[in-house]
Amino acid sequence: MTPELLPTLRSTAECRQQADAALEFMHELYPICRSITGDGVRRTLAAVGAHIPLEIHEVPSGTQVFDWEVPKEWNVREAWLADAQGRRVLDFRNHTLHVMSYSLPVDAVMSLEELQPHLHSLPEHPDWIPYRTSYYREDWGLCVSHRVRESLVPGQYRVRIDSTLAPGSLTYGEFLHRGQSEQEVLLFTHVCHPSLCNDNLTGIAVAAALAAGLRAGQARLSYRVVFAPGTIGSITWLARNEQRLGALRCGLVLGLLGDRGPLTYKRSRRGDTEIDRIASLVLRQQARAHQLVDFSPYGYDERQFCSPGFNLAVGRLTRSANNAYPEYHTSADNFAVVDADCLAESLQVCAAILRTIDGNCTYVNLSPKCEPRLGKRGLYRATGGAHPAEFEHALLWVLNQSDGGYSLAAIAERSGLPFATIAQAADALLQAGLLAATETQDVRQRDT
């Protein structure tokens, strides 16, 4: 019998209510200056931890993680540029994007000409501040709207970036909801972007809401939600959890879940795993609009989970993809980009995907030669000749396909019936003693 998962994230109304709460949470997180390390991440995880139990991990700078090492920790207190008259041309206090992430400290007076190589702006979007990082090359930079940059007159400018780049640690947080099985479903979202709204405060808020929702129900599988910096965070997590990956049944990288684009599922490298099948099934049956895209090694942390040495059953769910909307990685990725109904739909579809994974058992029909007599078990209408109902069709589909080779999701796919109806039919047949669970549900499975 499938336990009820995410009971509070079922109806559109419930999800819209959660989306409003998520938006409120995002307003709280927006001003924080996050990077791949540092206090911004810690404050963000603390805020998440106010809603769900979160285990915080600190990994020291210099720790070897596969081909990489954990970088020095970066923190910034203030950053500004002032003209010869001492007027602040830009100030980090106004927008966290003004300082290039991982900028070295600087306090100097220089000519506009000397300053220019350190300025970043977007001529094609003169009012937007770009988002720039320099994690692995020691440098400093200021990001500025092109309009402001153009207004700068020749002369002397004072630049001050009060930052530190020093041994410290990389911080990530983990939420775990234990189910009946040791097998885990992974949700991963990146927490390293500063004041950018769709990318990726929506991902953080949706992951937190799903974690909170999981606590309210019963689960067959276990669910791990990881909040970590992008790239180096997933690499670090994989390095520290390599021995446990056998228990990872499938996973989903979450991000960019609030914009008005259609929900977009990006397939795992294998392309035909359980999460690929289920995401496609749920999106087809429940999303207002959606697109499925093939794996490519460019994007977010699916790159690491799907590197050839792991090749995990991990896909990615976003609305617009990275690089696929004009405001991406600029100050214009603010609350105007995010729509509450879209955020609610993202939550609802995520919940449905998790619910489907949790219920995706594989059975064997214990009466496989001819159909068993459903009528004598109270599962079939007594008077023949008229059309059977959808539930009776679902019973027949589950019986016919349950030879140990087809999961319930595969049966839903082949039959075209809703997964919930198929799962309900399987429960009824299980109770009637006509099905047995296969052991394959307890091993890492390739649902192909």
Residues within the interface to a copy of itself (CB under 8 A) = 65-68, 100, 120, 130-137, 139, 141, 231, 234-235, 238-239, 242, 269, 294, 296-298, 303-304, 306-311, 323, 329, 365, 367-373, 375-376, 382-388, 393, 396-397, 399-403, 414-415
The owner of tokens 């839903």 is 412
CB of 403 to a copy of itself, least distance (A): 4
Query: Which residue, 159 or 343, has its beta carbon nearer to a copy of itself?
Result: 159
CB of 214 to a copy of itself, least distance (A): 27
180: Cβ contacts below 8 Å, ≥ 6 apart: 3, 219, 220, 221
49, amino acid identity: G
156-166 vs 222-228, strand pairing mode: unpaired
Query: Which residue, 17 or 291, has its beta carbon nearer to a copy of itself?
Result: 291
CB of 103 to a copy of itself, least distance (A): 11
Classify 370 as helix, strand or coil: coil
How far apart (Å, rounded) are the C-alpha atoms in residues 89 and 158?
10
The owner of tokens 């792991």 is 310
252: Cβ contacts below 8 Å, ≥ 6 apart: 185, 186, 187, 188, 275, 279, 314, 315, 316, 317, 350, 353
Which tokens sit at 121?
A: 């702006």
CB of 46 to a copy of itself, least distance (A): 26
CB of 321 to a copy of itself, least distance (A): 13
Query: Which residue, 288 or 381, has its beta carbon nearer to a copy of itself?
Result: 381
Query: Which residue, 86 or 308, has its beta carbon nearer to a copy of itself?
Result: 308
Query: Which residue, 116 or 296, has its beta carbon nearer to a copy of itself?
Result: 296
CB of 173 to a copy of itself, least distance (A): 20
Q: Supply the DSSP string of 95-150, one letter for each residue.
A: -GGGB-BTBPPEEEEEEHHHHGGGEE--TTSTTPPB--B-SSS-B--EE--HHHHH
CB of 213 to a copy of itself, least distance (A): 30
Query: Which residue, 19 or 306, has its beta carbon nearer to a copy of itself?
Result: 306
- CA nearest neighbour of 377 among 325, 338, 434: 434
* Residue 86: count of CB within 10 angstroms of its CB: 7
How far apart (Å, rounded) are the C-alpha atoms in residues 156 and 40?
32
* Residue 342: count of CB within 10 angstroms of its CB: 22
Q: Are the beta carbons of 315 and 305 closer than 8 angstroms?
A: no
CB of 66 to a copy of itself, least distance (A): 5
Query: Which residue, 47 or 104, has its beta carbon nearer to a copy of itself?
Result: 104
What's the gap between Cα 13 and its chain centre?
22
Query: Which residue, 130 or 217, has its beta carbon nearer to a copy of itself?
Result: 130
Helix intervals (H) in 222-318: 232-241, 274-286, 302-305
CB of 137 to a copy of itself, least distance (A): 4
Query: Which residue, 12 or 296, has its beta carbon nearer to a copy of itself?
Result: 296
CB of 369 to a copy of itself, least distance (A): 4
Query: Which residue, 180 or 323, has its beta carbon nearer to a copy of itself?
Result: 323
List C-alpha distances in Å: 353 to 9, 257, 286, 367. Answer: 12, 15, 10, 31
Q: Are the beta carbons of 360 and 294 closer than 8 angstroms?
A: no
